[in-house]
């Protein structure tokens, strides 16, 4: 066989091998579920470790700290329908980061956190109709930062965090009575910088850190029975393939929200900023990785869900502080061009 014939044969053989490889890449691209779209940048100062939540059909972002380490108290409203930002009345408490925030159908709430010297437990209500703040009863637990919060049936739930010790206590706030009531502590390990989401009236707490250990347990809280149920670990805990990549779920300062009866975790990370996105199905107690967050990888971002879309904004990455905002549609196919 001549040298030329050998080359032709080799090229033909390479082409035959390459066809299924190229097809498999195309098929993989086509199976990516979830699409991110960049929207109008946050109008405030780029920041990390802020508070974000939704009240009805609008999103809100405030507090946190900037690239100079200055803590902030400005407060902003994001209009999803218009894709615009508007500054609102400043948060009336002392400037802080690592606070908690949650929204009901009509009001928003911010409390706890760290002012650079002291851990805090003061608590405030925001009325978007009058654009006013009102101080409410102090948080029922100890002053802390790095706690987590969620809303179930228009009542707030706050727990975990750090007050010189890692914590796992759990408290309910009733806006109708302005009272805090301690509920059974979550199971598992103490932690700070955990993440929450709510699906069909059940609250979930996941991730976080305790004594330099990234927690890999997931707990579900039923407010009707005031009970906690442990779910599957978010680690490679079995000999089956379904959890082989679960270790990338663990970390701190992730963004959590729920859409279409499923929970989502985005960004955050361990020793560095992350961009992975995971979807939790409560019916199967399984996680599936979705389209990677298309903005810069980040820690200390905030997020909320409005009208079947999840939103992620602000945060920090390798010393940079961020002010972009992205919307996530979990049912759309990935589109790199939008």
Say what the pLDDT of residue 26 is: 38
Cα–Cα distance between 248 and 27 in angstroms, integer?
Answer: 24
Q: Which residues of the chain have pLDDT under 50?
A: 1-30
pLDDT at 5: 44
Taking the whole predicted model, whether its pTM rises above 0.95 is answered as no
Cα–Cα nearest to 317, from 283, 275, 262: 275
CA distances to 8, 45, 108, 219, 260 from 279, rounded to whole Å, are 48, 30, 26, 15, 11
d(CA 315, CA 76): 15
Question: Dmax of the chain from CA atoms?
Answer: 91
Q: What is the pLDDT of residue 306?
A: 97
Is there a contact between 297 and 273 (Cβ–Cβ < 8 Å)? Answer: yes
Sign of the alpha-carbon dihedral angle for 161, 163, 168, 173: negative
Question: Could you tell me which of 287, 122, 151 has the C-alpha nearest to residue 218?
Answer: 287
pLDDT at 92: 98
Domains of the chain, by residue range, sit at 1-31, 38-332
The arrangement of secondary structure in 38-332, i.e. its CATH architecture, is 6 Propeller (2.120)
CA–CA separation, 327 vs 259, rounded Å? 12
């Amino acid at each position: 066989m001549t040298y030329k014939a050998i080359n032709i044969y080799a090229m033909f053989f390479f082409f035959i091998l390459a066809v299924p490889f190229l097809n498999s890449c195309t098929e993989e691209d086509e199976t990516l579920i979830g699409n991110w779209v960049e929207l109008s940048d946050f109008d405030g100062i780029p920041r990390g470790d802020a508070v974000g939540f939704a009240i009805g059909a609008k999103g809100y972002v405030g507090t946190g700290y900037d690239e100079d380490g200055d803590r902030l108290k400005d407060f902003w409203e994001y209009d999803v329908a218009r894709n615009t930002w508007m500054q609102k009345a400043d948060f009336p408490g002392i400037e802080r980061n690592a606070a908690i925030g949650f929204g009901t159908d009509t009001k928003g709430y911010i409390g706890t956190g760290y002012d650079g010297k002291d851990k805090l437990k003061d608590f405030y209500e925001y009325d978007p109709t009058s654009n006013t703040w009102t101080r409410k009863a102090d948080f029922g637990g100890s002053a802390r930062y790095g706690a987590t919060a969620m809303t179930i049936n228009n009542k707030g739930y706050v727990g975990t965090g750090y007050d010189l010790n890692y914590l796992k206590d759990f408290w309910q706030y009733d806006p109708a009575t302005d009272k805090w009531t301690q509920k059974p502590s979550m199971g598992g390990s103490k932690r700070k910088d955990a993440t929450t989401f709510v699906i069909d009236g059940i609250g979930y707490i996941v991730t976080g850190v305790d004594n330099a250990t990234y927690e890999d347990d997931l707990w579900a809280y039923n407010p009707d029975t005031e009970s906690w149920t442990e779910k599957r670990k978010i680690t490679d805990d079995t000999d089956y393939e379904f959890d082989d990549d679960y270790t990338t779920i663990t970390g701190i300062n992730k963004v959590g929200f729920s859409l279409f009866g499923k929970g989502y975790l985005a960004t955050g990370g361990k020793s560095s900023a992350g961009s992975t996105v995971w979807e939790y199905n409560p019916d199967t107690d399984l996680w599936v990785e979705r389209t990677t967050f298309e903005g810069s990888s980040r820690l200390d971002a905030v997020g909320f869900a409005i009208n079947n879309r999840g939103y992620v904004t602000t945060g920090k990455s390798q010393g940079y502080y961020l002010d972009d905002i992205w919307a996530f549609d979990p049912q759309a196919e990935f589109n790199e061009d939008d």
